[in-house]
Amino acid sequence: MDSILERSSLAMPILEMKGITKTFPGVKALDDVNLSVREGEIHALIGENGAGKSTLMKVLSGVYPQGSFDGEIRFRGQPQAFRGIADSERLGIIIIHQELALVPLLSITENLFLGNEQASRGVIDWDAATLRARELLRLVGLHDPPETLITDIGVGKQQLVEIAKALSKEVKLLILDEPTASLNESDSDALLELLLQFKARGIASILISHKLNEIAKVADRVTILRDGTTVETLDCREAVVSQDRIIRGMVGRALSDRYPRRTTVPGDVLFEVKGWSADHPAHPGRRVVRDVNLTVRRGEVVGIAGLMGAGRTEFAMSLFGRSYGRNIRGQAFLDGREIDVSTISRAMANGLAYATEDRKHLGLVLDNDIRHNVTLANLRGVAKRWVIDHEREVQVAEEFRRRLRIRCADVFQETVNLSGGNQQKVVLSKWLFADPQVLILDEPTRGIDVGAKYEIYTIINQLVAEGRGVVLISSEMPELLGVADRIYVMNAGEMVAEMPAAEASQEKIMGAIMRSGETLMSGEALP
């Protein structure tokens, strides 16, 4: 390993980007940015949402072609002028975006070679494609049959398919934009290990991530962007680079505590769920939520922990207006009174709100501007006599833009043009404006930088200080331990444990999951 690090430290740059400046109408997204990546290194690119990370990578990959920006790109010492993504891919520069570009109803093989078909005289050679697919899947450690449909595998495996697709194009520089944002801890570790294997083979990687612990595990160097400019590049091999040091570079100040403190004094039970069950929407009789009971007190943050596939999102969506599942049964109570949550409008009328983890498909109208998205869940709040008051609508949107620090030109900017983290802030703004009594937050800080996370935690504290209840679903256990007052543990659709956050730990949570898994395998807990 020492020899690999030594070779990497002496290696010549495979990539040099100098003086990159990119301007959109009313916004300078990049301002004289410089980036150098060496042969065979893992180079982390970090910064707050809207700092310019994804824009810089789109410039590099040709999504933004030569002529649409100022500056110089050199790859392996040669100046480049990419007119499109095909030009960069021909040199082995492959980008994997945060939102995976796979076709769900095509097979793994078909996705691997989509646009790069294994063909002879215009006819696809499926035998050759399948054979090559098996080789690529073996390289990334994916053992599913190549004919498996993408829709039938989890997000972690889909990420491996994207990487296998990159390998099929003879990758020299692999760009990964938030590759672990949707992965659980074990899948994330497996992906990071794969990057280290690529490094040993001489493949360079640019890793964009808000998970600073992952950066510490694998990065050789770290370049920090802030407000579209290069702040500094840190060498992780010369000295230990602490997370606090990185945060200070990202946000321009120290964060003394990742989780804002509050004095918790929960009141009476505000919200209660009894005997909640739901079946899979496409497979009647396949139970995905099993007899769930849950309580939320006034002024309390209740966390739900669990691995991917545990049923947390399915439970939340089935509860919020039956927006997921079939054969849904159970009862919901607010202040001791049974409430009707059979439709989304009725759930909202009875004080519930649900901020989805899938912001692009379920949380936002991407072609609409920020103003319309923020007010969409509470049009009555910006209407006079059933007519939208456009001035009031702009005022509300501006208020949330300032409150959540949404980085944008103005509130008339289309949400599709925002960074992922800023899109998430718009989702949160929409539900905060709906003024719920109980707010269900499903992975609310996914893809969001540490500074913005702190702001969201502060808003959660404000909500519970007003006597509201918050249900927090998160795959980041430190977040649950730092924010929640009480934690439920979910596995295979069941609540398998409950504990005060003060008495919880990652080990206790994982222990509860493992013990429940053994019970399920023995058949004791199955209906």
Residues 266-302 pLDDT 10s = 899 999 999 999 999 888 888 999 999 999 999 999 9
Task: Supply φ then ψ for residue 49, to 5 degrees.
Answer: -60, 130
Task: Identify the domain boundary among 434, 458, 485.
Answer: 434
Same domain, 461 and 517: yes
The pLDDT value given to residue 418: 85
Q: Give the gyration radius of the chain's Cα atoms.
A: 24
Same domain, 524 and 479: yes
Same domain, 186 and 152: no
Same domain, 158 and 278: no
Among 172, 133, 135, which Cα is nearest to 150's? 133
Task: Identify the domain boundary among 193, 217, 251.
Answer: 251
**What's the structural domain count of the chain?**
4
Q: Tell whether 297 is covered by a domain.
A: yes
Same domain, 339 and 448: yes
With 0-12 / 13-18 / 19 or more C-beta atoms within 10 angstroms meaning exposed / middle / buried, residue 125 is: middle
The pLDDT value given to residue 255: 59
Task: Supply φ then ψ for residue 359, to 5 degrees.
Answer: -65, -35
The pLDDT value given to residue 60: 95
Task: Identify the domain boundary among 382, 409, 434.
Answer: 434
Distances (CA, A) of 182 to 74, 174, 416, 493: 32, 19, 20, 19
Sign of the alpha-carbon torsion through 8, 13, 14, 16: positive
54 neighbors 177 (Cβ within 8 angstroms): yes
Q: Tell whether 356 is covered by a domain.
A: no
The pLDDT value given to residue 419: 77
Same domain, 344 and 454: yes
The pLDDT value given to residue 87: 94
The pLDDT value given to residue 199: 93
Beta-carbon contacts of 47 under 8 Å, excluding residues fewer than 6 positions away, are: 53, 224, 225, 226, 231, 250, 449
Same domain, 204 and 339: no
406 neighbors 427 (Cβ within 8 angstroms): no
Q: Tell whether 358 is covered by a domain.
A: no
Same domain, 421 and 521: no
Q: Tell whether 357 is covered by a domain.
A: no
With 0-12 / 13-18 / 19 or more C-beta atoms within 10 angstroms meaning exposed / middle / buried, residue 527 is: exposed
Q: Tell whether 363 is covered by a domain.
A: no
The pLDDT value given to residue 1: 44
The pLDDT value given to residue 375: 95
222 neighbors 236 (Cβ within 8 angstroms): yes
Among 476, 416, 431, which Cα is nearest to 181's? 476
Residue 527, domain CATH: 3.40.50.300
26 neighbors 409 (Cβ within 8 angstroms): yes
Q: Tell whether 362 is covered by a domain.
A: no
Same domain, 180 and 291: no
The span from the CA of 104 to the CA of 151, in Å, is 5
- Tell me the residue range of the domain where 379 lies: 368-434
Same domain, 418 and 381: yes
445 neighbors 303 (Cβ within 8 angstroms): no
Q: Tell whether 191 is covered by a domain.
A: yes
3-class state of residue 152 by DSSP: helix
Same domain, 407 and 460: no
The span from the CA of 55 to the CA of 178, in Å, is 14
Q: Show the 3-state SS of 188-222.
A: HHHHHHHHHHHHHCCCEEEEECCCHHHHHHHCCEE
Q: Tell whether 196 is covered by a domain.
A: yes
| Residues in the chain where the model's pLDDT stays below 70 | 1-11, 26, 182, 253-257, 517-527
Beta strands in 142-280 (DSSP E): 173-177, 204-208, 221-226, 229-235, 269-279
Same domain, 421 and 524: no
